[in-house]
Structure 1
Amino acid sequence: DVLIAAITSCTNTSNPSVMLAAGILAKKAVEKGLTVPCYVKTSLAPGSRVVTDYLEKTGLQPYLNQLGFNLVGYGCTTCIGNSGPLDAGIEEGLVEHDLVAASVLSGNRNFEARIHQNIKANFLMSPPLVVAYALAGTVIKDVYLHPIGQDKDGNDVFLKDIWATLDEVKEVLQTAFEPEMYKKLYADFAEQNPLWNEIPSSEGDVYEWEESSTYIQEPPYFTDFSMDPGKFCNISGARALAIFGDSVTTDHISPAGAIKPISPAGLYLQENGVEPMNFNSYGSRRGNDRVMVRGTFANVRIKNLMVAPVEGGFTKHVPSDENMSIYDAAMRYKEEDTPLMIFAGAEYGTGSSRDWAAKGTLLMGVKAVVTQSFERIHRSNLVGMGVLPLQFAEGESAETLNLDGTETFDLMGLEGVQIRPRQNVTLRITRADGTSQETQLTLRIDTPIEVEYYRHGGILPYVLRQLLNG
């Protein structure tokens, strides 16, 4: 069944032809007496107020409203996981019975658990098809061959009966636009936002951090900053924080979407007086590292092989052998002064190249990430945050090396040498029974400037030192 149907995304809603086609399809559906099933959560979130203007001007918005596609706002919603909660009974049934439900959206992202943490199947499509599948209430039905529903007289209605023709779209398009509309909506924009303008703010050259804020805190990236750059060091006695398989995306790594009350981030917010109904999303709290680090590696679908078959952001702390959240384990290792490593398969870091996938990794205390291959931008972001990306030799992997998370690791070949891009380094693996094995890894610092970024502790301290040195 389709549980979420969202016309969303700044890119796809900027195409007036498909938006008007969605409105025409809605008009025809309403006139035939079709309705959206009650279990489908519908929404309309265009990227511009111009969309609202021309849908209202052409008389199509009321038909979208009748089908539940009411305006919920302008900007990022379902695409970044801001789909809001489902009916409590539906969510309970999904979790209890491990059901596969679907969302349909006109957005850009459909990574697992991105749209909603309890919806496993997410399909990208045009705005008119979003309306069509909302009416059908399922993605199993072939809407080209089978009826979407029945009209007022009980007759079958097929997609072809309500689809907007090219001539219909052209006719409406001619009356939808005028240049003055853009001037009217975007002239004096600041004056049209009185609520924003009324927010009190401080003035001065230095920002006044508010200790009690759960939205923004002073970032820790310049703690103990000095003008002296660092140096490459070997890593000794490291533990595996997690061992992942192939195709771990930045959506698996990054804090994104809704914040669960029982998650480390949710517990932190409640400890600071925030009720679950006011959690908002990770995206809205990205200015608070204390929330975001707790949401790193917390995706409900991420699979850490150290605790398989358990799904979600969990790991095993060694040597205590306790299962706990990845965040809690990372903080315990930090107290124990134990450096951490992440191991993964191929295509690590695919998907959106979001900064928090690298920031959160650093703040977890991870010193190095070892994979079979990296997505290009995430590899670069890791270097930019001062985390070493390393790659297994061809034919080797965490699986072939029989890693299970009980080992300790020593990374050697970084001290006292002139570091070269993509040089080899040695990983010594010491197993729980005391036996050891060494293997060669490729240092995936790929360029001379990346060598400098890492030596300075990341691109942020590098740039600051450059600025202060004139």
Structure 2
Amino acid sequence: MTSTNSLSKTKIAFNTGSGEAHLYSLKKLEELGYGNISKLPFTIKILLEAVLREFDGYAITENDIKLLANYNAKSPEGEIPFKPSRVVLQDFTGVPAVVDLAALRSAMKRMGGNPTSINPQVPVDLVIDHSVQVDMFGRDAALMFNVEKEMERNNERYQFLKWGKEAFDNFRVVPPGRGIVHQVNLEYLAKGVFTREEEDGSTVAYPDTLVGTDSHTTMINGLGILGWGVGGIEAEAAMLGQPISMLVPEVVGMKLTGALREGVTATDLTLTVTQMLRKHGVVGKFVEFYGDGISNMSLPDRATIANMSPEYGATMGFFPIDEESLRYMKRTGRSEELVDLVENYTKAQGLFRTDDIVEPEFSSTLELDLSTVETSLAGPKLPHDRIILSNMKKTFKNSLTSDDPTMGFSLAQEKLANKGIYKNGREIEMKHGDVVIAAITSCTNTSNPSVMLGAGIVAKKAYERGLKVPEYVKTSLAPGSRVVTEYLKEAGLTEYMDNLGFNLVGYGCTTCIGNSGPLPEPVEKAVKEGDLIVAGVLSGNRNFEGRIHPYVKANYLASPPLVVAYALAGSVDIDLANEPIGKDKDGKDVYLKEIWPTTEEIAEHLDNAIRPELFEKMYSDIFESETWEKIPVKGGDLFEWSDESTYIQEPPFFIGMGDDPEPIKPIKGAKVLVKVGDSITTDHISPAGNIKEDSPAGEYLKANGVKKKDFNSYGSRRGNDRVMTRGTFANVRFKNQLAPGKEGGFTKYHPTGKITTIFDASLKYKESDTPLVALAGTQYGTGSSRDWAAKGTDLLGVKCVIAVSYERIHRSNLIQMGVLPLQFKEGDSADSLGLDGTETFDIHVDDDVQAGDDIKVTATKDDGSTVEFMTDCRIDTPVEVEYYRNGGILHKVLRDYVEEDKQKS
């Protein structure tokens, strides 16, 4: 093997198309004998380039380079440090991230350091996109009304973000009403390749890589850009220049062949891929798509699949850069110079895909012939539970009485005929399966012109046949960027969408994040009266229990054209493949196939929808907004915290923190706060939606003078730990086995046996210095990369979670908040060990703990008998051990900054 000095030889010149630049050559590294790099998956090559470029012999060593250069696909081992090129945030997760940065500055001052040394070290973009709610719909005035309500509700948060924009370097904010972060990233923020000046004066080109505080950051993988979602805590560390420590991943190759059939959409393909990959098992792995079928896919189609990576459980779903990537960049207004740089760099670096490229070596593979994909939906509770359109009616009927926790509603037979009466000038009988929310929403599909145009064509044909949407259906259109409404208008389709009630309600996540707004009073009354299982149909990526709306229990993901179709049908209790969707103005049956768009009809408008001047126009003022400019800013380098604020509070994480961490000690005498089953999502743990008036969070807000109409959502109040801690485990559909028969944030307070709120129980446990434990089943923490799911767990006093398995981001976030994640040994679970949650737990962890250790747990029952069992310590890397030792990742970063400041002075 050559010496480390030879690594400098990997820096070579190349022609960018408009001049000379340098790159750190993977081909040269292979020539130096570091491994068979040309056979590596594209994703591993990009990680390898990052460690090669950032090699300093200290934070990133030659061993890190060797580890990736000699990547063993079948059995990857080790951990590597990864420094992304940039970070993206959305406002729900971005506000607490900026709150933490502000709190770090306050802590730095208290600890004698320089507050302004707390500053993003890489470019950071925050897009305000999660706060708009569908208060008004079905009217031309809906957009303006909803925007005004958004500004009114969130003015305090927006003042804070504007302060952050002024106070921090390398920090930009895209104002409200400009689009969804992932679509804005895809269409504008992403560069493909970055350049920087090095100490020797040379310009070095390198791949655009990122992490984001939203799990759907992966959408950018469709453009060949390496990036994935992380918790806000981890993103903050990356912003502060800390490498992300990650295990070398398995890379699953998914081969795509053929082409989609007539009438089948990118959404149908995405739901099929999601189901296949979830079944294959890709949690914590990279997925890389290959095969000549990719060449038959548009870039928006690829981005739709990449967006859903969290739903199939992968860290990301990657499509390498190819000719289509370059075409897309040109058509979305990127400069000719940038596109040339991307092409020349990726070809020189061996990162450019062609159909005849040598197939990389993957950890495992699976294959899909695109021509076999069928029209589909997914639901009613999970995004990977795919349903073929022709099976929808039967599947819904079965779900009503099914006891399957992810597919059923356990409805008693005598309630199957329940009815509710919708009264609004006239009476309409409502039943199970009626669609009360039909939302074209979310970055997943609104970024894709083919399905958006398809929805407009369905609306046009339906309107011309005289079909109408039943008045109990709440319809909405919330695109991911302003480009969408422009091309729909230019295609002459907007008026037809409006005529069916799909008026523009805002540019943001809306329904997909739980901001569906209130149901009309007559609808809510009918649903309650009949105790109905009603449905939402949305073009989003999430349909978890309690997420869309508290009274809408069955939620289905579908393509935008299908959303329009189900809105017209008014029910999911229908076979749209064979039964008429309705009757035309002449009383004749109308079938879905008669109003479904053809490929040719969509193609007529497609070229017009993606053209440079449209994107250049819409993105020319992306960082500007009249309402944004009017928001006042107060405070300088330090934020002025206010005890009166119900939106922004200094979190307690760093208050009273010492310069040095305490030794790790055993957890003794712990009681169980929650015991849950499988597939508990971060929505269950930390809901984003409505705050109930009689909940601990609601009571807190009322006590602070906030009226119910101004509660806003949990997501909008993530800058206030006092709301969020009270809201932890407070999802209306959360089922704690310690409070059987109840839904919501309840538990048993063991000393008295009384059922009380989880928050109130945690306060009582704190009074007696009793540590707490959570017991869980499989896939604990699946769903959004929600840092408050870990923060709230920590602030409730939970010191340890013991689960059968974890979703990647939540496990990481628990450690980053100083909560110990343990995993039952293979074959074990709380139930198999006879644990009912009433036991007292002793967890035998100490200061010598290492990544992956076996940790003994002793559970003592009330009668004095004990259950001893071994668990796997899911602190996976040595760096994570240090985070846990310090009480969290930001505690470690803060101590490092303080020490660095002391050395400078």
TM-score, structure 1 as length reference: 0.96
The match for 1:259 is 691
Q: Distance in 1 between matches of 2:859 and 2:587?
A: 70
Q: Deviations over 1:97-151 (max 9, x none)?
A: 5432111111111111111122121111111110001001111211110111111
Q: Is the 8 A contact 1:18 1:126 kept in 2?
A: yes
After TM superposition, the structure 1 stretch with the greater mean CA deviation from structure 2, 256-265 or 237-246, is: 256-265
Which is worse superposed, 103-112 or 393-402? Answer: 393-402
Q: 1:26 to 1:418 in 2, by over 3 A?
A: same
Task: Please say if residues 533 and 553 of structure 2, whose CA atoms lie closer than 8 Å, have aligned partners that are also in contact.
Answer: yes
CA shift in 2, pair 1:96/1:428, >3 Å? farther
In the aligned structure 1, how far is the partner of 2:797 from the partner of 2:599?
A: 56
Give the alignment partner of residue 517 of structure 2, picking from 80, 84, 99.
84
Give the secondary structure class of the aligned counterpart of 1:268.
helix
Equivalent residue, structure 1, for 2:248: none
Confirm or deny that 1:186 pairs with 2:619.
yes
- Cα–Cα, structure 1 residues 224 and 291, in superposed 2: closer, same or farther, change >3 Å? same
Deviation digits for residues 344-366 of structure 1 (CA, Å, limit 9, x no counterpart):
11221122222111111111110
Distance 2:858 2:610 in 1: 66
Of 353-362 and 144-153, more deviation after overlay is shown by: 353-362
Report the counterpart of residue 550 of structure 2 in structure 1. 117
Question: Retained in 2: the 8 A contact 1:255–1:356?
Answer: no
What is the deviation of 1:64?
0.6
Q: 2:456 aligns with which of 23, 28, 34?
A: 23
Amino acid at match of 2:596: W
Which residue in 2 is equivalent to 1:130?
A: 563
Matched residue, 1:295: 727
| Cα distance in 1 between the residues matched to 2:546 and 2:790 | 19
Which residue number in structure 1 is paired with residue 163 of structure 2? none
Q: Which range moves more in the overlay, 166-175 or 240-249?
A: 166-175
Question: Residue 425 of structure 1 contacts residue 443 of structure 1 at CA under 8 Å; is this kept in 2?
Answer: yes
- Superposition map of 1:69-468 within 5 A: 69-95=502-528, 97-191=530-624, 193-412=625-844, 414-415=845-846, 418-468=848-898
Q: Distance in 1 between matches of 2:521 and 2:834?
A: 42
Q: Please give the secondary structure, in 1, of the residue aligned with 2:443.
A: coil
Normalized per residue, which structure has more helix?
2
Once the 2 structures are TM-superposed, how far is the Cα of residue 93 of structure 1 from its aligned partner?
A: 4.5
The farther-off stretch of 260-269 and 234-243 is 260-269
Deviation (angstroms), 1:95: 4.5
Q: Counterpart of 1:63 in 2: which secondary structure?
A: helix
Local SS of the residue matching 1:236: strand
Q: Provide the C-alpha distance between the structure 2 equivalents of 1:398 and 1:96, rounded to a whole number of angstroms.
A: 39
* Distance in 1 between residues matched to 2:874 and 2:828, nearest whole Å: 16
Secondary structure of the structure 2 residue equivalent to 1:324: strand
SS in 2 for 1:427: strand
Residue 406 of structure 2 corresponds to which residue in structure 1?
Answer: none
Contact kept? 1:5, 1:134, Cα under 8 Å? yes
2:499 to 66, 72, 96: 66
Larger mean Cα displacement after TM superposition, 266-275 or 142-151: 266-275
Distance 1:89 1:333 in 2: 43
Q: CA RMSD in A?
A: 1.6
Following TM superposition, by how much is the alpha carbon of 1:385 offset from its aligned partner in structure 2, in angstroms? 0.8
Q: What SS does the corresponding residue of 1:369 show, helix, strand or coil?
A: strand
8 Å contact from structure 1 (residues 285, 292) kept in 2? yes
1:46 aligns with 2:440: no
Counterpart secondary structure, 2:466 = coil
Q: 1:431 to 1:177 in 2, by over 3 A?
A: closer
Distance 2:629 2:886 in 1: 40
Helix, strand or coil at the partner of 1:305:
coil
Give the letter aligned to residue 564 of structure 2: V
Of 419-428 and 85-94, the range deviating more from structure 2? 85-94
Residues 444 and 539, structure 2, Cα contact 8 Å, conserved in 1: no
1:443 and 1:173 mapped to 2: Cα distance? 52
Q: Is the 2:833–2:867 contact (alpha carbons within 8 Å) kept by the matching residues of 1? A: no
Deviation, structure 1 residue 22: 0.6
- SS of the equivalent of 1:442 reads strand
Amino acid aligned to 2:702: Q
Q: 2:435 — aligned with what?
A: 2
Question: Counterparts of 2:528 and 2:464 in 1: how far apart (Å)?
Answer: 37
2:235 aligned residue: none
Aligned in 2, Cα 1:241/1:300: closer, same or farther, shift over 3 Å? same
Q: Work out the CA distance in 2 between the residues paired with 1:126 and 1:182.
A: 24
* Offset at residue 74 of structure 1 (A): 0.5
Q: C-alpha distance in 1, partners of 2:714/2:817? A: 20
**Aligned partner of 1:153: which letter?**
D
In the aligned structure 1, how far is the partner of 2:679 from the partner of 2:650?
A: 33
Structure 2 unaligned spans of 5+: 1-433, 901-905
Q: 1:96 to 1:220 in 2, by over 3 A?
A: farther
Question: 1: CA distance between counterparts of 2:692 and 2:669?
Answer: 34
SS of the residue corresponding to residue 738 of structure 2 reads helix
Q: Which one is further off, 435-444 or 289-298?
A: 435-444
CA distance in 1, matches of 2:793, 2:669: 18
Q: C-alpha displacement at 1:94, in angstroms?
A: 3.6
Deviates more, 1:264-273 or 1:136-145: 264-273
Distance 1:94 1:398, change over 3 A: farther
Deviation at 1:463, TM superposition (A): 1.2
Distance, in Å, in 1 between the alignment partners of 2:814 and 2:529 is: 37
SS at 1:306's partner residue? coil
Q: 1:3 to 1:353 in 2, by over 3 A?
A: same
Q: Secondary structure of 1:469's match? A: helix
- Structure 1 runs not aligned, ≥5 long: none
User: In structure 2, what residue type is equivalent to 1:147?
Assistant: P
Per-residue deviation, 1:383: 0.6
Deviation at residue 419 of structure 1 after TM alignment: 1.5
Q: How far does residue 157 in structure 1 lie from its aligned partner after superposition? A: 0.5
C-alpha distance in 2 between matches for 1:210 and 1:66: 47
